[in-house]
Amino acid sequence: MGVWQKAMVCAWLGAGLTALAPVLPAHDDATAGPAEQERHAARVLGRLSFPTNTKSEAAQEAFIQGMLLLHLFEYPYARERFLEAQALDPDFAMAYWGEAMTHNHPIWDVQNLEAGRAALGKLGATPAARLARTPVAREQGLVAALELLYGRGSKKERDRAYMRAMEQLAATYPEDHEIQLFYALSLFGVQAGVRDVPTYMLCTAIAQGVFSENPEHPGAAHYLIHGVDDPVHAVLGLRAARALYRMAPDAGHAQHMTSHIFIAVGLWSDVIAANEAAVRVANEMRVERGHPARAWGHYNFWLLYGYLQQGRNSEALALLQGAREQAREFGGPPEDRMELDPDRSVVGSAVQMWARYVIETRDWGGDIAGWQFKSGDAFDPNLTISFIRTLQAANASLAARASQFHEQFRALMSGLEREIARQDEPAPTDLLYLDRLRVMDRELAAAIAMARGDVGAAIAQAQEASRLEGAMLDTTAEDWLDDAAEALAVGERIGEKTLLIATSTGATLAVALLVLHMPREQAVTLSFLTLGFAQLWHVFNMRAAGSNVSTISCSRMSATRSVTPCAAYSSA
């Protein structure tokens, strides 16, 4: 051919990973003094270009620091830099836009509507007044899109309106890295914290485009990682994870996010190193502002889990004891009993770390399993405690006592269901939380049946737990075929030959595609017995093909599991 071209379409089945939601480091928003500003400027966070209309070099420098931190989800720290830029140049429209952006956390489905509106209000009292202070067309587009995000309507409606506006901007400015990445982030946002693989794969493709052109852009590497943050696709994020780890050593969330890829592919030493770095950086930034270091929170939870996976139980226990001590010294239960993210309170986090330690060590009868916590009436920590107490009693063959704790669990679950049902706009993540509780309920029933010696009932309850988890999937065989056909169509557009890679049920899909969708002379099939072989083949091919490999992926996924992920690869 002269120039080798080949398109490959991969179809496989695999189970997904329920992602843990990161939590923001808490600290004050006071503007830093000169010495602290110098430290901020020295931070290594990656590299990006965002020309603006400010005439102040110092304001632009602060703004760029804010942008880097914004892309790394270090929202409060980013806000400080945008406030600094405003103080240096009060007419700097993008500094106000940046501050408003820090109040929207799309992947976590968290938004402070009033704070976002207030930040925009500092630029001008009305949308027209704000646009009048924004002379550059590109910047006007960004501000106008934000008007929709913080405008009227439900959060779901505003998220979608903002995404549509960013979609148009991305079409208008296809070479603008920042607009492309914020469009990708808006696509994440419309999913409201619940993973949808077709959308996430589109985000991945956008981020990959920017990452290929600027491999030091923290947002590109970061969003690419979020896009492939499940066991099937995670191997595609290894390069971005390695790059992000190196390019942003001074951002705790960046260091932690790399472990989302490492954990999915079993790189436990890397999981530990990433979260040790994340804890260190986050605590250094807290101490800078006069706050105590934390032994609890999201990064510590992942670090504890990594230690346990490597059998480093003494290090995990030391971490857990630190969290428990801080829960005793500083903490009470979450102020809002409906707060379902355990990382947002010291007690919630300590309970989550304790539960993971007890489950992984299986030390049901030890002193640690008997620890008590001041959990108040908050749903999340009390559900976790009831879950562990039930398993603890069941493992001691105390079926009656286990049943009592199980009833506590069920009462809490019913109470939470009623509270969520009263909400005008239930958060999708809260509904997913309920689905998980129903699976856990059946798991507890299975453990109690085993404690009674009723193996048949235990198997039946475990099967029901499996069925409920499977029911969380919103897919059909037709969906699988549609996805695979979509990937095939992409492959046909970008290459001369199409290679179908299939494992397990994917082999059936490959045959169906050959029969239904393509001439036989255009197809080559390659089947693997396991997903692992397919992933190894993919990694080998990507290396062999060199750097000029483009990836377009599509698949269907529920909140808990991947089904027929499909990817089209082309090398010219």
Q: What is the DSSP string of 155-171?
A: HHHHHHHHHHHHHHHHH
Q: Is the Cα dihedral 113, 427, 13, 555 positive or negative?
A: negative
Span 29-42, average pLDDT: 49
Burial of residue 447, with CB atoms counted within 10 A of its CB: 0-12 exposed, 13-18 middle, 19 or more buried: buried
> What is the spatial distance between Cα 389 and Cα 398, in angstroms, rounded to a whole number?
11
* pLDDT computed for residue 416 by the predictor: 97
Could you read off the pLDDT of 362-400 as tens digits, one per residue?
999 999 999 999 999 999 999 999 999 999 999 999 999
Number of structural domains the chain divides into: 3
Within a domain: 206: no
Model confidence band, residue 26 (pLDDT cutoffs 50, 70, 90): very low
> Are 453 and 541 contained in the same domain?
no
Last residue of a domain, one of 167, 192, 217: 192
> Are 450 and 482 contained in the same domain?
no
Coil, strand or helix at 452: coil
Range of the domain at 405: 332-471
SS3 content of the chain, % helix, strand, coil (to 5): 65, 10, 30
- Assess contact for 381 and 333: CB atoms under 8 A: yes
Could you read off the pLDDT of 270-287 as tens digits, one per residue?
999 999 999 999 999 999
Helices in 343-476 by DSSP H: which ranges? Answer: 346-361, 379-395, 399-421, 428-451, 455-471
Could you read off the pLDDT of 451-505 as tens digits, one per residue?
999 999 999 999 999 888 877 755 555 555 666 666 666 556 555 666 665 555 5
Burial of residue 271, with CB atoms counted within 10 A of its CB: 0-12 exposed, 13-18 middle, 19 or more buried: buried
* pLDDT computed for residue 483 by the predictor: 60
The residue type found at 253 is H
> What is the spatial distance between Cα 9 and Cα 286, in angstroms, rounded to a whole number?
47
In DSSP notation, 275-298 reads HHHHHHHHHHHHHHTTPPP-S-SH
**Strand-pair partners of 551:** 569
CB contact set of 506 (below 8 Å; sequence gap of 6+): 11, 12, 13, 564
* pLDDT computed for residue 498 by the predictor: 63
Within a domain: 99: yes
> Are 424 and 483 contained in the same domain?
no
Q: pTM higher than 0.95 for the full model? A: no
CB atoms within 10 A of CB 50: 16
Within a domain: 166: yes
CB atoms within 10 A of CB 305: 21
Q: Is the Cα dihedral 231, 232, 235, 241 positive or negative?
A: negative
> What is the spatial distance between Cα 199 and Cα 492, in angstroms, rounded to a whole number?
21
Could you read off the pLDDT of 345-368 as tens digits, one per residue?
999 999 999 999 999 999 999 999
Query: Residue 428 is encoded by which pair of tokens?
Result: 């999708």
At residue 319, does pLDDT exceed 90?
yes
> What is the spatial distance between Cα 229 and Cα 559, in angstroms, rounded to a whole number?
12
Span 16-24, average pLDDT: 31
* pLDDT computed for residue 196 by the predictor: 85
Print burial letters for 16-32: b (CB count within 10 Å at least 16), e (below 16).
bbebbbbbbbebeeeeb
* pLDDT computed for residue 194 by the predictor: 85
Q: What is the residue-averaged pLDDT of the chain?
A: 83
The half-sphere exposure of 263 on its side-chain side, counting CA atoms within 13 A, is 26
The percent of residues in the chain predicted with pLDDT above 90, rounded, is 68
- Assess contact for 513 and 484: CB atoms under 8 A: yes
> What is the spatial distance between Cα 214 and Cα 275, in angstroms, rounded to a whole number?
25
CB contact set of 271 (below 8 Å; sequence gap of 6+): 259, 262, 263, 302, 305, 306, 309
* pLDDT computed for residue 501 by the predictor: 57
Within a domain: 409: yes
Span 296-309, average pLDDT: 97
Residue 570 vs residue 517, higher pLDDT: 517
* pLDDT computed for residue 43 by the predictor: 85
Within a domain: 418: yes
Span 57-70, average pLDDT: 97
> Are 432 and 511 contained in the same domain?
no
CB contact set of 532 (below 8 Å; sequence gap of 6+): none
Query: Residue 395 is encoded by which pair of tokens?
Result: 């493992």
| Residue whose tokens read 């700097």 | 92
Q: Are strands 498-503 and 523-528 parallel, antiparallel or unpaired?
A: parallel
Model confidence band, residue 69 (pLDDT cutoffs 50, 70, 90): very high
> Are 169 and 48 contained in the same domain?
yes
> Are 187 and 50 contained in the same domain?
yes
Rg (CA), the chain: 25
> What is the spatial distance between Cα 278 and Cα 256, in angstroms, rounded to a whole number?
5
* pLDDT computed for residue 28 by the predictor: 35
The percent of residues in the chain predicted with pLDDT above 70, rounded, is 75
* pLDDT computed for residue 22 by the predictor: 34
Torsions phi, psi of 105, nearest 5? -120, 80
* pLDDT computed for residue 571 by the predictor: 35
Model confidence band, residue 143 (pLDDT cutoffs 50, 70, 90): very high
Within a domain: 44: yes
Span 147-165, average pLDDT: 96
The half-sphere exposure of 421 on its side-chain side, counting CA atoms within 13 A, is 6
> What is the spatial distance between Cα 435 and Cα 468, in angstroms, rounded to a whole number?
8
> Are 76 and 62 contained in the same domain?
yes
Residue 407 vs residue 535, higher pLDDT: 407
Within a domain: 223: no
Which of 40-49, 74-83, 365-374, 413-422 is predicted least confidently? 40-49
> Are 439 and 541 contained in the same domain?
no
At residue 561, does pLDDT exceed 60?
no
> Are 383 and 463 contained in the same domain?
yes
* pLDDT computed for residue 289 by the predictor: 85
Span 112-123, average pLDDT: 97
> Are 541 and 393 contained in the same domain?
no
> Are 540 and 431 contained in the same domain?
no
At residue 129, does pLDDT exceed 60?
yes
Q: Is the Cα dihedral 267, 270, 272, 275 positive or negative?
A: negative
Last residue of a domain, one of 420, 452, 471: 471
- Please state, in angstroms and as integers, the Cα–Cα distance from residue 144 to each residue in 97, 109, 158, 287, 471, following that order: 10, 21, 13, 38, 41
**Strand-pair partners of 503:** 528
Could you read off the pLDDT of 325-347 as tens digits, one per residue?
999 988 777 889 999 999 999 99
Could you read off the pLDDT of 179-217 as tens digits, one per residue?
999 999 999 999 988 888 888 999 999 999 999 999 999
Torsions phi, psi of 366, nearest 5? -80, 175
Last residue of a domain, one of 139, 171, 192: 192
Q: Are strands 498-503 and 6-11 parallel, antiparallel or unpaired?
A: parallel
Within a domain: 82: yes
CATH number at residue 79: 1.25.40
> Are 160 and 180 contained in the same domain?
yes
- Assess contact for 270 and 249: CB atoms under 8 A: no
Span 9-19, average pLDDT: 26
Q: Report the alpha-carbon angle 249-255-256, nearest 5.
A: 165
